[in-house]
């Protein structure tokens, strides 16, 4: 199994630009999570999906952030417009919902830098 | 809301034993998980305690006491490769919430 796949691995963009992060979960996993990690705030849950349906987006910072999961094998996290404070590592993770999601498999992350 | 407290840093000597504590203020959770993250890497799952008591997985053990709102990760026979950050996380069935993590430094 290839594990969770994220792209791009690194993204450098200017303030005001749109950024799209992509994730392919492990085949057969029906829960998908987007996290943001910074030194100051740690690992924050932004949004998660069960069976492609968004369940809880209370962690999404503001309306500039949006996430979609059009099918079981693909999800996107979009930031529009981006701001320097969005600079962070963004992780996608997947799990079997039936296991209580306590064992999640993380992708390698996307390191986003907004200048 | 939820609150998890971990020491920000712990230092230990190679070959020794170290315990990383996690206290929490939350209710209605399913269990406590532990994750390891090396610098520049992604978090990886280590262990899970659904019930009170000790769970052992090789050199790593994890403990949970719901009555004390407390858990810990125990690492034995420390190796240099164990230098990493360790996160406790409470599971709410369909999501988990992570603590801020403990950076483990290992001295030769």
| Position A53 confidence tier, pLDDT thresholds 50, 70, 90 | very high
CB contact under 8 A, A103 and B87: no
Residue A73 reports pLDDT greater than 80 = yes
CB contact under 8 A, B43 and A91: yes
Q: Name every residue whose Cβ is closer than 8 Å to that of residue B58 and which is 6 or more positions away in sequence.
A: none
Q: Share the mean pLDDT of chain B.
A: 93
Neighbours of A21 (CB within 10 A): 22
Of B45, B95, B98, the CB nearest to A56: B95
| Position A1 confidence tier, pLDDT thresholds 50, 70, 90 | low
Residues A83 and A98: their CA atoms lie apart, in Å, by 37
CB contact under 8 A, B94 and A107: no
Residues B75 and B65: their CA atoms lie apart, in Å, by 18
**Residue by residue, what is the 3-state secondary structure of chain B?**
CCEEECCCEEEEECCCCEEEEEEEECCCCCEEEEEEECCCCCCEEEEEECCCEEEEECCEEEEEECCCCEEEEEECCCCHHHCEEEEEEEECCCCEEECCCEEEEEEC
pLDDT at site A43: 94
Q: Share the mean pLDDT of chain A.
A: 94
Residue A100 reports pLDDT greater than 70 = no
pLDDT at site B20: 98
Task: Please name the residue that has the structure tokens 């999501």.
Answer: B95
CB A100 within 8 A of CB B93: yes
pLDDT at site B22: 97
CB–CB contacts below 8 A, A to B: 55
Residue B43 reports pLDDT greater than 70 = yes
Q: Does A33 touch chain B (CB under 8 A)?
A: yes
Cα A53 to chain center, whole Å? 14
Chain A residues touching residue B42 (CB < 8 angstroms): 91, 106-109
pLDDT digits (tens, 9 = 90+) for B62-72: 999 999 999 99
pLDDT digits (tens, 9 = 90+) for B78-93: 999 999 999 999 988 7
Residues A1 and B71: their CA atoms lie apart, in Å, by 32
Residue B34 reports pLDDT greater than 80 = yes
Residues B54 and A43: their CA atoms lie apart, in Å, by 26
- Give the residue, B27 or A19, on which the prediction is more confident: A19
Cα A70 to chain center, whole Å? 14
**Mind giving me the DSSP string for A44-101?**
EEEEEEETTEEEE-TT--STTEEEEEEETTEEEEEESS--GGG-EEEEEEEE-GGGTT
| Position B1 confidence tier, pLDDT thresholds 50, 70, 90 | low
Residue B37 reports pLDDT greater than 90 = yes
| Position B47 confidence tier, pLDDT thresholds 50, 70, 90 | very high
CB A113 within 8 A of CB A82: no
Q: What is the torsional sign of CA B102, B29, B48, B39?
A: negative
Residues B35-62, mean pLDDT to the nearest whole number: 95
Q: Does A15 touch chain B (CB under 8 A)?
A: no
- What are residue B89's DSSP bridge partners? B33, B98
Residue B17 reports pLDDT greater than 70 = yes
CB contact under 8 A, A103 and B48: yes
Residues B14 and B20: their CA atoms lie apart, in Å, by 16
């Amino acid at each position: 199994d290839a594990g969770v796949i994220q792209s791009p691995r690194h993204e450098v963009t200017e303030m005001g630009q749109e950024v799209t992060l992509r994730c392919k979960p492990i085949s057969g996993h029906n829960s998908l999570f987007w996290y943001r990690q910074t030194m100051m705030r740690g690992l924050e849950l932004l949004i998660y999906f069960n069976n492609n349906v968004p369940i809880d987006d209370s962690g999404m910072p503001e309306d500039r952030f949006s996430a979609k999961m059009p099918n079981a094998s693909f999800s996107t996290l979009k930031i529009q417009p981006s701001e320097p404070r969005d600079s962070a590592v963004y992780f996608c993770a997947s799990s079997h919902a039936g296991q209580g999601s306590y064992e999640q498999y993380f992708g390698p992350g996307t390191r986003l830098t907004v200048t | 809301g939820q609150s998890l407290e971990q020491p920000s840093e712990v230092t230990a000597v190679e070959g020794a034993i170290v315990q990383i504590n996690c206290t929490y203020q939350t209710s209605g959770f399913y269990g406590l998980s532990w994750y390891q993250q090396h610098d520049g890497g992604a978090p990886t799952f280590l262990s899970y305690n659904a019930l009170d008591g000790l769970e052992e997985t090789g050199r790593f053990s994890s403990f949970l006491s719901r009555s004390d709102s407390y858990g810990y990760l125990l690492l034995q026979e420390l190796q240099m490769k164990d230098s990493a950050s360790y996160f406790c996380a409470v599971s709410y069935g369909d999501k988990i919430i992570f603590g801020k993590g403990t950076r483990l430094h290992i001295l030769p």
